[in-house]
């Protein structure tokens, strides 16, 4: 497929986003940017959140895992579903009672200003690393399969795409993103269905016959019953559940869209609708991975997992029309994960770290100038981190994202769990140190336990690596930590908070706010 033609469709798609942004951002203000004036349609939010949650990682990396890990990612997806119900019926009622703009304000009500800013800081770190990893994956595909042929460098590609995202999120923020995410989710799912139908029809397969062929090589296997394996089904399901609670329920980007819905009941309908669709779509992506595996095997396509779908779609194995649909779907998967993250990070930094809503002396115009400056700064940070991922050149970004979530969302999980499940009062000044110490300890434990994974990511060699492997076997035997890493991190944070807390009741005024709301 001609690279110039594909690039022209990317540009046309971006123009459509700008048009949508123009109409949705008219008469916008800071409230529009942060929470969409609390007037978002729950159905649009639910549908648009699919694109944000799936991103280019699900579109490219999940299908690429099937050849090596079969349908085992389905275990994590089952955990996701359980996590969404916890969010809908435990966290959302709390957020609405407090009438929050930033969900981390809960930590201030419960513990104090340091815990509040600590929670916001960990969100900023978590979402920055996660979003840039997703962004890197899709930009790398565009670079390898389209833009390299045109002599455009990876750095320039990254810079231009971030400028695009800045342009259509600059004014409207959440108000705009609710609509652009809906458009992008539609294109992404359309690309999934069209590509899968084309390949199956080309191979004279139906869904049933595809599953039958995959089952012959054991690729439809979902549940891993090896208790020592990092993919053991209980580890994966529990890990998926708590990853969802952390990466969605305790994440300002995802909750920012939910609390932009007018009522709690509609927000809960949004979450449950979204969760059911997410499970179905994730299993469709696994089926697509199986279809791609069979098609690649029949056509002697041997590439790393993350490159399988782009190679088949863009290297002459599909008609030009299908290649165009793939590219549109791919960039539709790119933008929701990046634009929402950029907007949410700007909101969190402005509201939680700078405290714009607390500073009554600042005018709407001054607040807007600060917000725009922060927005541009985060775009620059995104650029630098994406370039760092390029140096790593990892071939399995989904593994990196789940690993990063385990380290960075653990303290958030511990903070919120301690606040909700206990009535103890922590020493607010020490909460930051506990939240820093817990993931550092978990990082050391995971490094020893999964030294082979870390060695692959950073390409380190030496006698000391063999020493770490020996130490790992001595301590852990054959046991490997998997996606449940986040749970260990959260438990360690919880225990640390317990040590710096006292068994005294929450002050009456705070208890009243937590139980009945601020208004």
pLDDT digits (tens, 9 = 90+) for 21-52: 777 666 555 554 554 445 566 666 666 677 66
Say whether pLDDT at 356 is over 50.
yes
HEC string of 322-360 equals HHHHHHHHHHHHHHHHHHHHHHHHHHHHHHHHCCHHHCC
Residue 157: which pLDDT band, with cuts at 50, 70 and 90? confident
What pLDDT, on the 0 to 100 scale, is given for residue 39? 55
Q: Token digits for 177?
A: 């993103």
Say whether pLDDT at 287 is over 50.
yes
**How many C-beta atoms lie closer than 10 Å to residue 217's C-beta?**
14
What pLDDT, on the 0 to 100 scale, is given for residue 87? 93
Closest CA to 378 of 180, 128, 59, 120: 128
Q: Tens of pLDDT along 318-333? A: 888 888 888 888 777 7
Average pLDDT score, the chain: 81
DSSP state of 40: B
Say whether pLDDT at 61 is over 80.
no
What pLDDT, on the 0 to 100 scale, is given for residue 519? 41
What pLDDT, on the 0 to 100 scale, is given for residue 460? 64
Q: With the CA atoms of 332, 338, 339 and 345 taken in that order, what torsion angle do they form, in degrees rounded to the nearest 10?
A: 160
**Mean pLDDT across 399-407:** 79
Q: Do 364 and 114 contact (CB within 8 A), yes or no?
A: no
What pLDDT, on the 0 to 100 scale, is given for residue 36? 47
Answer yes or no: is 27 within a domain: yes
Answer yes or no: is 74 within a domain: yes
The total number of structural domains in the chain stands at: 1
DSSP state of 262: S
What pLDDT, on the 0 to 100 scale, is given for residue 75? 93
Closest CA to 244 of 434, 90, 135: 90
Q: Do 100 and 259 contact (CB within 8 A), yes or no?
A: yes
Return the ∠ at Cα 201 (arms to 313 and 205), rounded to 5°. 115
Torsion-angle region of residue 292: left (phi > 0), alpha (psi -120 to 50) or beta?
Answer: alpha
Residue 83: which pLDDT band, with cuts at 50, 70 and 90? very high
In the chain, what percentage of residues exceed pLDDT 90? 18
Residue 219: which pLDDT band, with cuts at 50, 70 and 90? confident
Q: Tens of pLDDT along 126-140? A: 888 888 888 887 788
Non-local (6+) Cβ contacts of 128 within 8 A are 341, 345, 378, 381, 382, 385
**Mean pLDDT across 105-116:** 90
Answer yes or no: is 503 within a domain: no
Q: Do 405 and 368 contact (CB within 8 A), yes or no?
A: no
Answer yes or no: is 115 within a domain: yes
Closest CA to 304 of 55, 6, 77, 63: 63
Say whether pLDDT at 335 is over 60.
yes
What pLDDT, on the 0 to 100 scale, is given for residue 109? 87
Q: Token digits for 371?
A: 């917000």
Q: Do 414 and 435 contact (CB within 8 A), yes or no?
A: yes
Answer yes or no: is 206 within a domain: yes
* CATH code assigned at 358: 1.20.1730.10
Answer yes or no: is 12 within a domain: yes
What 3-state class would DSSP assign to 502? Answer: strand
What pLDDT, on the 0 to 100 scale, is given for residue 393? 66
- How far are the Cα atoms of 24, 367, 379, 421 from residue 372, in angstroms, in the given order? 18, 9, 11, 38
What pLDDT, on the 0 to 100 scale, is given for residue 471? 87
Say whether pLDDT at 198 is over 80.
yes
Answer yes or no: is 42 within a domain: yes
**Mean pLDDT across 345-373:** 76
What pLDDT, on the 0 to 100 scale, is given for residue 218? 87
What pLDDT, on the 0 to 100 scale, is given for residue 37? 47
What pLDDT, on the 0 to 100 scale, is given for residue 176? 67
Say whether pLDDT at 500 is over 80.
yes
Q: Do 334 and 53 contact (CB within 8 A), yes or no?
A: no
Say whether pLDDT at 284 is over 70.
yes
Answer yes or no: is 278 within a domain: yes
Greater model confidence, 60 or 151 = 151
- Residue 348's domain spans which residues? 3-392
- Burial string for 332-368 (b: 16+ CB within 10 Å, else e) reads bbbbbbbbbbbbbbbbbbbbbebebbeeeeeeeeebb
Q: Tens of pLDDT along 452-491? A: 877 776 666 677 778 888 888 888 888 888 888 889 999 9
Q: Report residue 170 CA to chain centroid gap.
A: 21
């Amino acid at each position: 497929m001609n690279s110039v033609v594909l690039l022209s469709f990317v540009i046309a798609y971006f123009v459509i986003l700008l048009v949508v942004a123009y109409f949705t951002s008219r008469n916008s203000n800071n409230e529009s940017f942060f929470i969409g004036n609390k007037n978002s349609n729950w159905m649009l939010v639910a549908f648009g959140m699919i694109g944000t949650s799936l991103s280019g990682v699900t579109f490219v990396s999940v299908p690429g895992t099937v050849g090596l890990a079969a349908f085992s990612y389905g275990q994590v997806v089952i955990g996701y579903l359980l996590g969404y119900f916890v969010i809908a019926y435990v966290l959302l009622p709390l957020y609405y009672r407090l009438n929050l703009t930033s969900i981390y304000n809960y930590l201030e009500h419960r513990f104090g200003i340091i815990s509040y800013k600590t929670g916001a800081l960990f969100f900023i770190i978590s979402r920055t690393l996660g979003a840039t990893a997703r962004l890197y994956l899709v930009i790398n595909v565009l670079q390898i399969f389209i833009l390299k042929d045109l002599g455009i460098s990876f750095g320039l590609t990254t810079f231009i795409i971030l400028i695009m995202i800045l342009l259509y999120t600059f004014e409207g923020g959440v108000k705009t993103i609710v609509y652009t995410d809906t458009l992008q989710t539609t294109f992404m799912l359309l690309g999934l269905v069209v590509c899968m139908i084309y390949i199956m029809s080309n191979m004279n397969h139906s869904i049933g016959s595809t599953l039958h062929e995959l089952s012959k090589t054991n690729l439809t296997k979902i549940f891993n019953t090896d208790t020592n394996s990092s993919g053991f089904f209980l580890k994966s399901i529990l890990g998926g559940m708590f990853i969802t609670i952390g990466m969605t329920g305790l994440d300002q980007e995802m909750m920012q869209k939910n609390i932009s819905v007018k009522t709690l009941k509609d927000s809960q309908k949004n979450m449950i609708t979204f969760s059911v669709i997410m499970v179905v779509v994730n299993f469709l992506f696994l089926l697509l991975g199986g279809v791609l595996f069979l098609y690649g095997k029949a056509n002697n396509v041997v590439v790393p997992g993350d490159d399988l779908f782009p190679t088949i779609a863009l290297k002459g194995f599909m008609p030009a029309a299908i290649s165009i649909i793939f590219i549109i779907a791919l960039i539709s998967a790119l933008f929701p994960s990046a634009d929402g993250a950029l907007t949410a990070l700007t909101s969190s930094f402005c509201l939680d770290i700078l405290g714009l809503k607390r500073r009554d002396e600042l005018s709407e115009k001054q607040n807007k100038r600060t917000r725009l400056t922060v927005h541009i700064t985060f775009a620059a940070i995104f650029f630098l981190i994406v370039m760092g991922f390029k140096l790593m050149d990892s071939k399995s970004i989904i593994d990196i994202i789940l690993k990063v979530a385990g380290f960075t969302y653990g303290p958030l999980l511990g903070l919120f769990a301690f606040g909700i499940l206990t009535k103890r009062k922590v020493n607010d000044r020490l909460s930051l140190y506990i939240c820093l110490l817990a993931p550092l300890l978990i990082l050391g434990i995971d490094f020893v336990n999964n030294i082979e994974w870390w060695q692959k990511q950073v390409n380190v060699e030496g006698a000391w690596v063999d020493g770490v492997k020996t130490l790992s076997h001595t301590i852990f035997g054959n046991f490997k930590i998997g996606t449940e890493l986040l749970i260990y991190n959260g438990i360690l944070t919880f225990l640390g908070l317990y040590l710096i807390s006292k068994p005294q009741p929450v002050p009456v005024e705070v208890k009243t706010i937590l139980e009945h709301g601020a208004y």
